[in-house]
């Protein structure tokens, strides 16, 4: 598969658990995501081991700090050789520009978190942002685009609108993916792979529907088939 659309979230606390799942997957069929828990527990060595196994890695550390600190963190991600990394759009224009400068286009893909999907209208109010979450997401997505970032992370429910506004040349990465017959867990704003792709998502971050099944590779095939079928329709 040329550009696998699935990014498997390795949400584990140890390298052993992450590698057990990785060994059941196929780097031709997916990429993998290393987040804060796994990276804090295992460090860059695990990222290197995953890359040695042929996986492209999305380093999901959501950098949010002063511009020079974020730029240096991005440079470290670049020298690690990861495929994609991310920052918080709420870090503002100077921070986003510094991150972009540190990761020239064509190297590590740089995307932004707009608003965490766990933040609702009341949470926004309590931090002094008296606006609808959807409006904030849109504004921050524009900011990310204006600063030259490659894309944003958004829920499948926001994807259709963002795709319409941002055009095709902007990467939309969507978590909260569930098959109709799979537990929702703690996710709220969910969509099936078919709907996420139909709404314009480029990449789908999928954790438990793959990691918690008896046969993760079979599930990966099933999800990829659903995606391919939808892409053929679009």
Output the smallest distance, CB 70 to ligand C5P, in A. 18
Query: Which chain residues interact with ligand C5P by CB under 6 A?
Result: 9, 11, 35, 116-117, 153, 175-176, 185, 187, 205-209
Output the smallest distance, CB 32 to ligand C5P, in A. 11
Q: Select from 32, 31, 21 the least CA-distant residue to 217.
A: 21
Under DSSP, the state recorded for 28 is T
Active site residues: 62
Distance CA 95, CA 64 (A): 8
Output the smallest distance, CB 24 to ligand C5P, in A. 16
Output the smallest distance, CB 131 to ligand C5P, in A. 18
Structure tokens at 98: 């510094």
Close Cβ partners of 229 (under 8 Å, ≥ 6 residues apart): 194
Strands (E), 69-212: 84-88, 109-113, 151-153, 171-174, 203-206
Minimum CB distance to ligand C5P smaller for 106 or for 181: 181
Read out DSSP for 63-101?
E-S-HHHHHHHHHHHHHHT-SEEEEEGGG-HHHHHHHHH
Output the smallest distance, CB 146 to ligand C5P, in A. 22
Strands (E), 24-165: 31-35, 57-63, 84-88, 109-113, 151-153
First-to-last alpha carbon distance for the chain, in angstroms, is: 18
Structure tokens at 106: 């064509």
Strands 84-88 and 109-113: parallel
Under DSSP, the state recorded for 53 is T
User: Closest residue to ligand C5P, Cβ-based?
Assistant: 207
């Amino acid at each position: 598969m040329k550009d696998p659309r699935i990014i498997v979230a390795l949400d584990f606390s140890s390298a052993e658990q992450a590698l057990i799942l990785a060994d059941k997957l196929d780097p031709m069929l997916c990429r993998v995501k290393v987040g804060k828990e796994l990276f804090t527990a295992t460090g860059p060595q695990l990222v290197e081991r995953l890359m040695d196994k042929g996986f492209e890695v999305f380093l999901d550390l959501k950098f949010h700090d002063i511009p020079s600190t974020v730029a240096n963190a991005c440079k470290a991600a670049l020298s690690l050789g990861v495929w994609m990394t991310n920052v918080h759009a709420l870090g503002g224009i100077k921070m986003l520009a510094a991150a972009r400068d540190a990761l020239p286009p064509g190297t590590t893909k740089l995307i932004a978190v707009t608003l965490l999907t766990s933040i609702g209208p009341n949470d926004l109010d309590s931090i002094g942002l008296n606006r609808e979450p959807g409006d904030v997401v849109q504004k921050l997505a524009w900011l990310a685009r204006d600063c030259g970032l490659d894309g944003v992370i958004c829920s499948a429910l926001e994807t259709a609108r963002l795709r319409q506004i941002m055009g095709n040349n902007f990467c939309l990465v969507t978590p909260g993916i569930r098959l109709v017959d799979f537990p929702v867990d703690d996710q709220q704003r969910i969509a099936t792979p078919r709907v996420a792709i139909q709404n314009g998502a480029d990449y789908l971050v999928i954790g438990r529907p793959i990691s918690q099944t008896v046969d993760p590779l079979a599930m990966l095939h099933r999800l990829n088939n659903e995606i391919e079928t939808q892409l053929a329709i679009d």
